[in-house]
Structure 1
Amino acid sequence: MSIFIEQLKSLAWTQEFTSTALAKARAYAAEDRVEIIEIDDRKIEAFCVGSESQAYEQSIYLSEDRLGSVNLRCLCSCPVVIDCKHCAAVLYHLQGSADDASESDAQIPLGRALEHWLSTIPVPAKPAEEGAQTAGTRLFYKLKPTPVSGKWLLDIFKVSQLKSGELREVKPMYSLAEMLMRQPGYLSELDLRVARLLVAMHSHHAYYSGYPLEGSSGAELLEMLLRTSRLFLDFEDLRPLVPGAKRIGQFAWAEQADGGFRAQWSSAEAAQETVLALEPLYYLDRERRQIGPLFNELEEKLASHLTLAPDIPARQAMQFSHRMSAATRIPPPHQLTERVIDDVLPQPQLTLVSGRERSRWEYILEHRAALVFTYNGQPTVDRNPEVMILNGTETQRIQRQPAVEKKLRQILQKLGFKKATRKSSLDRPGEMFTLPDDSAWLGFMHEGLATLRASDWQVEVSPGFHFNVQPVEHWYAEVEEEAGHQWFDLQLGIVVNGQRYSLLPILLHLLRTQPRLLDPVNLAQRSDDEKLLIELKPSGFGDPSGAKVALPLSRVKPLMATLGELYLGGHQGDALRLSVPDAARLSMLDGVPLDWQGGERLRTFAKRLQNSSHTQVAAPAGLNAQLRPYQLEGLNWMQTLRELEVGGILGDDMGLGKTLQTLAHLLTEKHAGRLDCPALAVMPTSLIPNWLDEAERFTPQLKVLALHGSGRQKDFADLAEYDLVLTTYALLPRDLETLQPQLWSVLILDEAQNIKNPLSKAAQAARDLQARQRLCLSGTPLENHLGELWSQFHFLMPGWLGDSKSFNRDYRTPIEKHGNVQRMQHLTARIKPFLLRRKKDQVATELPPKTEIIHWVDLSDGQRDVYETVRVAMDKKVRDEIARSGVARSQIIIL
């Protein structure tokens, strides 16, 4: 009885299954649905037919754990997979078999491996006489020559032969692989060996009749074919080819009637042998229908190669003889005289190539330099110590100069070249060299190439070479502006071969395809001496058709710093449209040698804005206040912005005199005659009295009107008669219809953070007003987020920071969410000329000493009653909360 069944008896295996599964399993076992496939001491393989006659396969294993306990593992191909009713049915079946009778050894089924081994015991083959069979279906083999290559082909046919020897059916065998899979009964063991060898030799011909016989495998195959006694030259003469005795062959170049030559073998038995170019050679005696080895003194591969030599035309015989003499010591068709020359110096030739090479899952662009030495115009071949040149009937054997060639290689190595160690489709005759990176290639093309050519090197640049750069004749910048517009068009470009190319679309293409290349951080880390390779007409990857230039980073860096990727991000076309305040960036191009065309006024404006040298003015006459140095600086700053026709934010801390500085600015404008139309100051309602008070105290010469209260409409008709008009953010949208037609000399927003929401009615109304100059006053120009700053600049200079969407994308999100330092620096530099911010601790030395005056005030009876009521109520509320939640959780209530 099986050990498995014995152990099964001792196991409480039913506990591994559900009651439902066990009930179904008992029924299946009783219905004899189980078939045992294989059983041994540790495993059972079985089939069980389940519901709907579906058969499933079960594998049940016995194993021992480290404590010696026996475990049962049941697997099934059904959806349940483990411990299913089918596995339980198998176990019930085994248990029932054990109960019915003791199992005899004869009843134990053998394993599948043993059954297979027994069924495949080879039957001793009867001695076969391959040629004896003359009737039935068999394979016939036929040799045929190829008239062009000189090789011999093997055709295979399935034939039906009558007892009379007549062939009834002759069908080509197109698929040996399929025949080997089916192995029909008419195949002999020798046929199978022939087929296997043919498939191994010519897997790409597996479905084609006509197999080349070549090399040592072809010789082995030929020997097997001869043993079949079914190898023929044709089927008209059914005499099979038989093995012949060995012959001794002699090779010679046989001259033809036209003066040409033909490779020919001869022997004592035949003046001209028909030869099969195998390894070794075989002769074919057509008359005797014999094939046998043709022995000779040559190496087998060389002998086979000589046999396949094409016919040599008479006019090429001399050159062929010369070239053959250089390749082998076998006598050529023509005997030439030889002369050894050892005083010729090598001439270095360098060929530069580029191409796409596959690297794992992608294609990469690679570059190579192929070095070849020539002697009297003839290139060297591999390590051959001499170069052979045909001169009439004389072969000149020029000895190479290894020491000189080594020095020439060292010149390349000093330029950074190294031997290419990896094979590539770019490899050319000669020695292959490469450079470490694109920068090195650009450097070589810029300087090293001229050095080599000056040293009498011949350098050929292939048409598709990636670094075949054109010289830049000069750089240009063109500014086009129109009167009355707050923008201008800027073009930056280069001239190559007399043609102008705008750099803007080229740089845009680089930013889109290789963003890291022009990344500010990456650019800053690279040397100014490096070159940037660009295609003047960007096209597909590695397209060799476009002209290329190498731009020095010393010129590219200022361009990118001036334009920045923000300008180029959504740009289309050759020109870049910029707002007038953007002209400040033009001054950054002063260090770049550019041929400027137009834009003189803007460039002057840019220089003044970039230099930030404030106009120096004295405090205006009639100002009843002594301006402190920082306040005088603020006045000068506002005067400078006025001259530049731009606005700005005065962001001094509260108490530093923003109102006084603004009044001094207006008084200066009045004295200069530029306050020919009124200024408008918009502020919170609570600041109206303060402005009126300070205007009366410090600038009594200014005629001030406060548009406040319900009776303000009576003054609408007289606005032009005043120097300064005051209104509030609340009234501005209401009075916009009256205020909008008026041209204001200066438009001032005090506590400008009130327009931090650009969609508010006050912000929209302020942007709709006409003014020569716009100013924002705010002790907190940025309270919560950068969007508030954008809203103020959108009022001051619309478009200076782009629209809201682009500002959030390019500044706010990178700075606030990602802490991008570069974006922060870029924004700071952009707003710096238009923001003057001083804190009290910065100007503390200019402020008078702080004076503290303590004045006690008694509460009135009514005030005292209200205070006490609130105090008692809150005291009770706080105490109740502390009692309920504790001090730690009551901090908010306490505050």
Structure 2
Amino acid sequence: MSIAAAPVRGVPCLRVFADTLFVADGSRRGEEVRTAMLRLDFDYGGRRVRAGDPRPSGLRDREAEGQACRVLESFGVLELAQLDDCAEAPGAGVDYVVAIDGDVHALCAFAAYAVPQLKKLGWRVEIEAEYPWQTVGNDAPLYAAAMPDDKRPDWFGLELGIEVEGQRIDLLPALLDLLDHAPDLGALVRPARRCIAVRVDDRRWLPVPPARLQMLAKVLLELYREGGRLRAPVARAPLIAELCATLHDAERPLRWVGDTRIREQAFAMAMGPRRATRTALPAELRAELRPYQRDGVAWLQHLREHGAGGVLADDMGLGKTLQTIAHVLIEKQHGRLDRPAMIVTLTSLVGNWQRELARFAPSLDVCVYHGADRAARRATLAGHDVVVTTYPLVARDREHLAAVPLHLLVLDEAHAIKNDGAQAAEAVRRLDARHRLCLSGTPIENHLGELWSLFDFLMPGLLGSRDDFQVGFREPIEVRGDRPRAQALRERVRPYILRRTKDAVARELPAKTQLVRAVGLTGAQRELYEAIRVAAHADVRRQIRTRGLAGSTIAILDALLKLRQVCCDPRLVACDAARGVTASAKLDVLLELVGQQLADGRRILVFSQFARMLGLVSEGLLARGVGHVTLTGSTPDRQKPIDAFQTGRADVFLISLKAGGAGLNLVGADTVIHYDPWWNPAAQAQATDRAHRIGQTKPVFVHDLIIAGSVEERMLSLQRHKRDLAEAILAPASRDGARLSERDVDDLLAPLADPAHDA
């Protein structure tokens, strides 16, 4: 009796090669496509049978062969016999085509992902030696290097490549070429693609997952290109940390080669100060810092340690001055204050800095460089620990002050240099300082150009040139509301801005209640508003037609100014029609409100844009026997009214927003009245925070007086737009900003709402 032999199992054998595919396209010659071809055979114990061979044979396992064909087709290859409009070259022996369009990314995806899986299934895969779409395996590591620039020590160059058989191959030229020739990044990394092929050499490619290439492109496009090389200021080093996170792959390692100092700097700045490291405060500091203030001092020390500048952008009232003084004391304690620290501030705040330094750091040797006799102190400036001066004096004495080497240069109320072309902005850039710091609760008040000005002082190059910033960030974010660009800007400045809000770090502060009081216009005041509005709107429309929106700025501002003045008090308006109108609805409401609040035992700050308006308010209060003090830009002795209010000799303080909106600590007040709204919500918030700040023990009530249906009410909406613009960059959540448009102008100059409708 004979025993039947067990059937021989056919082993799939796949040959991968490149050849020409002829594709009919309606023309006489057709299209020739160089692409990947496949021939499939089955090996039955040494005897090979082609997959498409129809001849019967007792050795063949047709079901297993069919299953193998289905596995191959699952990788997206196409059977040539089923393609009516395609043909192979005579004698090529092709069964399948990988990509009929010759797409290099699809061809490399087959080599990178399909071939290894087929081999795991027991297939024999033969790839011809000259096959042009071979991919490097995961055993080939990536490498990166960040080298200091020989010509510019404050810049670095980036190299990114792969090590193949002991040879380093720079991939940046291929990556940049790939990005240059892609119509758009979204099309390049479309979800249907398994990988993006990056050329390594004539025959080999690196397969990169689309999501990873998208993240990589985001990093690379933020750097400056010089030919096939990428360079950037050292301030942009945190991008390296982002690059490392993008390239992290458990299957393919990343090695750093050469000098690692810039890499270490990158990670340090990206991560911020180590939380476990608590900065020891000097015994000479006469203050107890709150935990968030200790964190702020640690952050300032972290910036100094890594040679970076930054913006301490805490909310008004959280102690930016105290944190700065503590930072200076630490520098002196450790022997680093071998040159002075210079504080440049507003003229009105010189006395405040002088008092705070004497109070919290009496051991520091402080020189106030201010006043007509300042020339006598120039020769000794370098011998002091701290020099306090003003923006106008830095501009006026720029040659003398630029010759004084500084350890630290601090710009207080740094939004003072938001106009980068102003004399003060140019002068502070010329000062010679090892380290630079900006203090500003409002680094963005109106537009993103103000943020560029701050960083052009702190770390030139971080945000590029003014034109680069305009094209790369301002226009996309402010005009088009581009959230990815807002995110990119936020990430770029994140390591160099520390911003804490009172809601987040000073929750013990009493509540702040915002109240909007709408006042209706009637009678002659209403008629005056409408008469001025109609004439002004017609003039503005005429100007826009002939000069365009940008060329009509003066006309628009003049129209809005007149309407705001009518809302405040007709006596502010310089025109014949206003002379006979003496009634002011808002002034009447203010005087009544002040009387009510005083009767309830409250102490009041009244803010206005117009010093003349404060004079009218003062007259009204005096007529009612209400004692008060006033602070405007023309007040000769600022401290006198401040002391009178702080000691309780007056319960009402009239303050012009420009003179007293910053630098004052008036926690004795618990009521804030904004007589007239302003475009800039940050300026109003600063004014409010004269009372709602650390040290306040009572709830604070904020009253915004506006004329119902007028330009003032519409300004509140524009305030929200500006607040959103600042938060889009400084806050974690993304929001969109907007510029003043023709539609905004028409809305601001629209007629007053019908009083009956308002009621």
TM-score by length of 2: 0.58
Does residue 581 in structure 1 map to residue 235 in structure 2? yes
Offset, 1:799: 1.0
Supply the AA of the counterpart residue of 1:854: R
Equivalent-residue separation in structure 2 for 1:679 and 1:742 (angstroms):
11
Equivalent-residue separation in structure 2 for 1:457 and 1:771 (angstroms):
68
Supply the AA of the counterpart residue of 1:479: A
**Which residue in 2 is equivalent to 1:513?**
181
1:704–1:848: structure 2 CA closer, same or farther, 3 Å change rule?
Answer: farther
1:779-808: per-residue Cα shift (whole Å, max 9, x none)?
A: 110011111111111111111122222222
Q: Which has the larger radius of gyration?
A: 1
Aligned to 2:156, the other structure's residue is in SS state strand
| The one of 187, 192, 205 aligned to 1:548 | 205
| The one of 156, 168, 187 aligned to 1:500 | 168
1:678–1:783: structure 2 CA closer, same or farther, 3 Å change rule?
Answer: same
Does residue 741 in structure 1 map to residue 398 in structure 2? no
**Which residue in 1 is equivalent to 2:220?**
564
Equivalent-residue separation in structure 2 for 1:743 and 1:802 (angstroms):
26
| The one of 457, 463, 486 aligned to 2:154 | 486
1:632-654: per-residue Cα shift (whole Å, max 9, x none)?
A: 22222111111112111011222
**Which residue in 2 is equivalent to 1:207?**
none
Supply the AA of the counterpart residue of 1:778: S
1:42-61: per-residue Cα shift (whole Å, max 9, x none)?
A: xxxxxxxxxxxxxxxxxxxx
**Which residue in 2 is equivalent to 1:165?**
none
Equivalent-residue separation in structure 1 for 2:442 and 2:37 (angstroms):
62
| The one of 262, 268, 276 aligned to 1:602 | 262
Equivalent-residue separation in structure 1 for 2:366 and 2:452 (angstroms):
31
Aligned to 1:831, the other structure's residue is in SS state helix
Offset, 1:438: 6.8
Equivalent-residue separation in structure 1 for 2:427 and 2:174 (angstroms):
42
Does residue 854 in structure 1 map to residue 603 in structure 2? yes
Native 8 Å contact 2:106 2:195 kept in 1: no
1:697–1:533: structure 2 CA closer, same or farther, 3 Å change rule?
Answer: same
1:116-265 equivalences under 5 Å are none
Offset, 1:750: 0.9
Alpha-carbon RMSD: 4.4
Does residue 475 in structure 1 map to residue 139 in structure 2? no
Supply the AA of the counterpart residue of 1:577: R
Offset, 1:689: 1.5
Structure 1 unmatched ranges of 5 or more: 1-341, 388-397, 538-544, 872-877, 882-886
**Structure holding more helix per residue:** 2
1:696-775 equivalences under 5 Å are 696-775=358-437
Supply the AA of the counterpart residue of 2:308: V
Supply the AA of the counterpart residue of 1:598: G
Native 8 Å contact 1:352 1:465 kept in 2: yes
| The one of 72, 93, 103 aligned to 1:412 | 72
Native 8 Å contact 1:385 1:400 kept in 2: no
Farther-moved stretch of structure 1 (626-635 vs 715-724)? 626-635
Does residue 678 in structure 1 map to residue 305 in structure 2? no
Aligned to 1:676, the other structure's residue is in SS state coil
Offset, 1:583: 2.5
Does residue 353 in structure 1 map to residue 18 in structure 2? yes
Native 8 Å contact 2:146 2:263 kept in 1: no
**Which residue in 1 is equivalent to 2:443?**
781
1:64-79 equivalences under 5 Å are none
1:469-516: per-residue Cα shift (whole Å, max 9, x none)?
A: 244633222232269821222211112344322121111111111254
| The one of 37, 40, 43 aligned to 1:371 | 40
1:518–1:741: structure 2 CA closer, same or farther, 3 Å change rule?
Answer: farther
Offset, 1:439: 6.6
Equivalent-residue separation in structure 1 for 2:422 and 2:200 (angstroms):
48
1:656–1:401: structure 2 CA closer, same or farther, 3 Å change rule?
Answer: closer
User: How many pairs were matched up?
Assistant: 510
Offset, 1:567: 1.6
Offset, 1:411: 4.4
Equivalent-residue separation in structure 2 for 1:360 and 1:741 (angstroms):
78
Native 8 Å contact 1:652 1:837 kept in 2: yes
**Which residue in 1 is equivalent to 2:197?**
533
Equivalent-residue separation in structure 1 for 2:112 and 2:207 (angstroms):
8
Aligned to 2:502, the other structure's residue is in SS state coil
Equivalent-residue separation in structure 2 for 1:694 and 1:720 (angstroms):
21
1:669-690: per-residue Cα shift (whole Å, max 9, x none)?
A: 2222221111111112111111
**Structure holding more strand per residue:** 1
Equivalent-residue separation in structure 2 for 1:449 and 1:372 (angstroms):
15
Equivalent-residue separation in structure 2 for 1:547 and 1:564 (angstroms):
23
1:807–1:401: structure 2 CA closer, same or farther, 3 Å change rule?
Answer: same
1:382–1:797: structure 2 CA closer, same or farther, 3 Å change rule?
Answer: closer
Offset, 1:352: 3.8
Supply the AA of the counterpart residue of 1:585: L
Equivalent-residue separation in structure 2 for 1:526 and 1:730 (angstroms):
61
Aligned to 2:394, the other structure's residue is in SS state coil
Native 8 Å contact 1:757 1:791 kept in 2: yes
Supply the AA of the counterpart residue of 1:449: V
1:431-470 equivalences under 5 Å are 431-434=95-98, 441-450=107-116, 452=118, 459=125, 461=127, 467-470=133-136
Native 8 Å contact 2:369 2:387 kept in 1: yes
Farther-moved stretch of structure 1 (791-800 vs 753-762)? 753-762
Aligned to 1:733, the other structure's residue is in SS state helix
Offset, 1:843: 2.8
TM-score by length of 1: 0.50
Aligned to 1:842, the other structure's residue is in SS state helix
Native 8 Å contact 1:752 1:777 kept in 2: yes
Equivalent-residue separation in structure 1 for 2:290 and 2:372 (angstroms):
39
Equivalent-residue separation in structure 1 for 2:480 and 2:20 (angstroms):
40
1:888–1:367: structure 2 CA closer, same or farther, 3 Å change rule?
Answer: closer
Native 8 Å contact 1:493 1:504 kept in 2: yes
Equivalent-residue separation in structure 1 for 2:51 and 2:603 (angstroms):
105
1:373–1:354: structure 2 CA closer, same or farther, 3 Å change rule?
Answer: same
Offset, 1:863: 7.4
1:765–1:369: structure 2 CA closer, same or farther, 3 Å change rule?
Answer: same
Aligned to 2:134, the other structure's residue is in SS state coil
1:88-144: per-residue Cα shift (whole Å, max 9, x none)?
A: xxxxxxxxxxxxxxxxxxxxxxxxxxxxxxxxxxxxxxxxxxxxxxxxxxxxxxxxx
Equivalent-residue separation in structure 2 for 1:783 and 1:820 (angstroms):
19
1:754–1:385: structure 2 CA closer, same or farther, 3 Å change rule?
Answer: same
Equivalent-residue separation in structure 1 for 2:9 and 2:383 (angstroms):
102
Offset, 1:816: 1.7
Aligned to 1:732, the other structure's residue is in SS state helix
1:761–1:419: structure 2 CA closer, same or farther, 3 Å change rule?
Answer: same
1:328-367: per-residue Cα shift (whole Å, max 9, x none)?
A: xxxxxxxxxxxxxx99979755444365757689997754
Supply the AA of the counterpart residue of 1:547: R
Does residue 813 in structure 1 map to residue 481 in structure 2? no
1:550–1:400: structure 2 CA closer, same or farther, 3 Å change rule?
Answer: same
Offset, 1:585: 3.0
1:364–1:736: structure 2 CA closer, same or farther, 3 Å change rule?
Answer: farther
Equivalent-residue separation in structure 1 for 2:506 and 2:289 (angstroms):
15
1:826–1:817: structure 2 CA closer, same or farther, 3 Å change rule?
Answer: same
1:822-833 equivalences under 5 Å are 822-833=484-495
1:264-279 equivalences under 5 Å are none
Native 8 Å contact 2:133 2:204 kept in 1: no
1:408-455: per-residue Cα shift (whole Å, max 9, x none)?
A: 434424555453532324475453354798776545423543565677
Structure 2 unmatched ranges of 5 or more: 1-6, 513-599, 607-613, 624-706, 711-748, 755-759
Offset, 1:594: 2.5
